[in-house]
């Protein structure tokens, strides 16, 4: 794989942003799209991704109340991929396989106890592990389309509730 450069934004508190700059990201154990570090993906213009990350940090402000500086902070990150796999779940290489994996796991998603986000995370993680086994490569970045927080559309952009809400999302695997 030739070198690829991706740009992503991550919203957090200023204290946590300073810590990330010092020691790096700590991947989440479970998120909507699997384990990893989540970022909004900037296609050509990072403005939307920066605003989304800022809105996300403001929305989660209660989680940062005990930080030394809980003010919202956005990290704009350049992600260089020199090896490993970049997986675009919406791209032609993985989309059909991922849909088949979802169908195979539909019963689990519908009947297993627990948070729908935890269940979805486990299904995505199992798909990523499956592809890693097939390719014998570590997947470093998973990209997918996700819903933009409805509050971002209605509060920040002042758009009506029925506007489609999706944007690209990067999940940086550890």
Give DSSP secondary structure letters for 37-96.
Answer: EEEEE-SS-THHHHHHHHHHHHHTGGGGTTSSS-SEEEEEEEEEESSSEEEETTSTTTHH
First to last CA, the chain: 19
Residues of the chain with confidence (pLDDT) below 50: 163-165
pLDDT for position 48: 83
The angle formed by the CA atoms of residues 156, 34 and 52, to the nearest 5 degrees, is 15
SS3 assignment, position 153: helix
**Interatomic CA distance for residues 125 and 102, integer angstroms:** 12
d(C-alpha 54, C-alpha 133), whole Å = 36
- pLDDT on residue 161: 53
Those residues whose C-beta lies under 8 Å from the C-beta of residue 169, and which sit 6 or more positions away, are 33, 38, 39, 40, 41, 143, 144, 145, 146
Instruction: Specify the pLDDT at position 156.
Output: 63
Side-chain half-sphere exposure of 11, counting CA atoms within 13 A: 20
HSE-CB for 95 with a 13 A CA cutoff = 5
Taking residue 26's Cβ as centre, other Cβ atoms within 10 Å add up to: 11
| Rounded Cα–Cα distance for residues 123 and 149 (Å) | 22
Take residue 63 and report the two structure tokens written for it.
């989680």
């Amino acid at each position: 794989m030739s070198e690829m450069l991706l740009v992503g934004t991550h919203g957090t508190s200023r204290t946590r942003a300073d810590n990330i700059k010092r020691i790096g990201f700590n991947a989440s154990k479970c998120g909507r799209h699997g384990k990893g570090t989540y970022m909004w993906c900037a296609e050509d213009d990072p403005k939307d991704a920066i605003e989304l990350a800022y809105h996300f940090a403001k929305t989660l402000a209660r989680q940062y109340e005990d930080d030394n500086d809980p003010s919202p902070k956005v990290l704009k990150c350049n992600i260089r991929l020199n090896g490993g796999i970049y997986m675009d779940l919406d791209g032609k290489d993985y989309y059909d396989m991922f849909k088949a994996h979802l169908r195979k796991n539909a019963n689990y998603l519908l009947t297993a106890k627990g948070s729908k986000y935890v269940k979805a995370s486990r299904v995505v993680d199992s798909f990523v592990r499956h592809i890693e086994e097939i390719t014998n490569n570590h997947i470093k970045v998973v990209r997918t389309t996700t819903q933009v927080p409805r509050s971002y559309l209605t509060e920040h952009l002042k758009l009506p509730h029925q506007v489609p809400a999706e944007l690209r999302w990067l999940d940086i695997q550890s």
